[in-house]
Amino acid sequence: MRKYLFILGFVCMAPFALPAQRLPVEMTYKSIDTTKLRLKLYYPDNYVKDKGLPAIILFFGGSWSTGSINQLEPQAKHFASKGMIAVTADYRVKTRNNTSPFEAVKDAKSAIRFLRKNAIQLGIDSMRLAAGGASAGGHIAAAADLTSLDDKNENLAISSRPNALVLFNPVFNNGPGEFGYDKVGDGYRNISPFHNIRKGAAPTIAFFGTEDKFVHPQTAQLYKKTMEESGNRCDLFFYEGQQHGFFNYGKDSANTYFNKTIEESDKFLRAMGYIK
C-alpha cells in the first residue's frame, strides 16, 4: 500500500499509480493532532495515466455534526463513469471532533487546495475542479468558493476555490432565522455563502424539495436572484412535495430523484465542459 505524508501543508507522495481494478484510491489530505482527514478518489475505468481530467469533490451532509464520507459515493461513481475523477472527502464534525461549521469550511478549502496542489500526480485538471455536497456539505462547498475561512498554515497562493458547484439542498444562508445560525451566531457574515456573494462566483446548480423544512424554497430563490444580479450563473431545480435529503440513492426503490438530479447535474457539467 502506498503511503502519504502530510506535513505543514505539503504532501510527499510515492509515484502515483492506480490499482488495476479501479478501486477508490484513499489518502490523507490533512492531519490535526491525531485526526487524519481522508479522501477517496474514484477514477474512470478507462483512465489514462498522466492525462489531466476534470474532477469533482463531494462533501457529505449532517448539520456539521455528523455524517459519512460514503454518503455521496453513488454520485461519485456516476461522475467517474462519465469520465471525471470524483472525490469524496471527510471533514471535522461536532460529534467526532467537537468542532463548529467554521472548521468544516476550513477543511473543505484544505481538501480543494490539496487536490489542486497535487493535480499533476493525481491526474486532475486543476482548472476544472468542481465541488459539490449535500446539505451542510453543500454549504461548505459554496463557502469554500465565497468565504475567506482558509487554514492559515497552508500555502494560500494555491487557490481553495472550486471552479463550479453541484449542490444538493445546500444550506445557502446562515443569517438570523436561517438554518445554522444557532451554530455560528454573530459570525454568520464570515461563513454564510449568501452574505458573501460577489461577481466571479463559481457557476452553480442546486436541487431542492418544495417541502424542505431546513432550507426554505424562498431562501434558495433569493440566493439565485442575488447570484444573477452579481453576474453569476445559478440554476435551481425544485421537486414538488420532496423533503430534505430527497436526492439520496436508495431513498425510493426506483431512485427517482437520485436519477433526476444526476441527469440535470450531467447537463450542467456538460455545459461547463467537464463531461462529454
Question: 179: which 3 cell numbers?
Answer: 438554518
In a domain, 55, yes or no: yes
**Whether pLDDT at 182 is above 70:** yes
Reported as a single tens digit per residue, the pLDDT across 167-181 is 999 999 999 999 999
Supply 264's cell numbers.
440535470
pLDDT tens profile 47-80: 988 789 999 999 999 999 999 999 999 999 999 9
At 17, the pLDDT band (50, 70, 90 cuts) reads very low
Judge whether 120 lies within some domain.
Answer: yes
Residue 62 region, left (φ>0) first, then alpha (ψ -120 to 50), else beta?
A: left
Type of residue found at 20: A
Give 30's contacts (C-beta < 8 A, 6+ positions apart): 6, 36, 37, 107, 110, 111, 114, 151
3-class secondary structure, 83: coil
The residues pairing with 129 across neighbouring beta strands, listed in sequence order, are: 55
Is the Cα torsion angle 87, 9, 163, 108 positive or negative in sign? positive
Residue 276 lies in a domain: no
Is 188 contained in some domain?
A: yes
Q: Count other Cβ atoms within 10 Å, centred on residue 253.
A: 6
Mean pLDDT, residues 238-250 taken together: 97
* Interacting residues of 221 by C-beta distance below 8 A, sequence separation 6+: 236
> pLDDT class for 227, splitting at 50, 70, 90?
very high
Whether residue 195 is contained in a domain is answered as yes
Mention every residue, 6+ apart, whose C-beta is less than 8 A from residue 65: 93, 94, 95
Give which of 40, 43, 8, 18 is closest to 27, Cα–Cα.
40
Mean pLDDT across the chain? 93
Give the residue among 53, 116, 61 at the shortest CA–CA distance from 80. 53
Q: What pTM was estimated for this model as a whole?
A: 0.92
Q: For the chain, what is the domain count? A: 1
In a domain, 176, yes or no: yes
Q: What is the pLDDT of residue 35?
A: 97
pLDDT at 22: 72
C-alpha cell belonging to residue 27:
489518502
Question: What span, in angstroms and rounded, lies between the C-alpha atoms of 186 and 109?
Answer: 22
**pLDDT surpassing 80 at residue 20:** no
Q: What does 51-63 look like in DSSP terms, one character per residue?
A: --EEEEEEE--ST
Is residue 231, in this structure, part of any structural domain at all? yes
Q: Is residue 258 part of a domain?
A: yes
Euclidean distance between CA atoms 71 and 37, whole angstroms: 16
C-alpha cell at 172: 445557502
Question: 3-state DSSP helix/strand/coil percent for the chain, to nearest 5?
Answer: 30, 25, 45
Q: Give the residue numbers spanning the domain of 257.
A: 4-271
CATH code for position 77: 3.40.50.1820
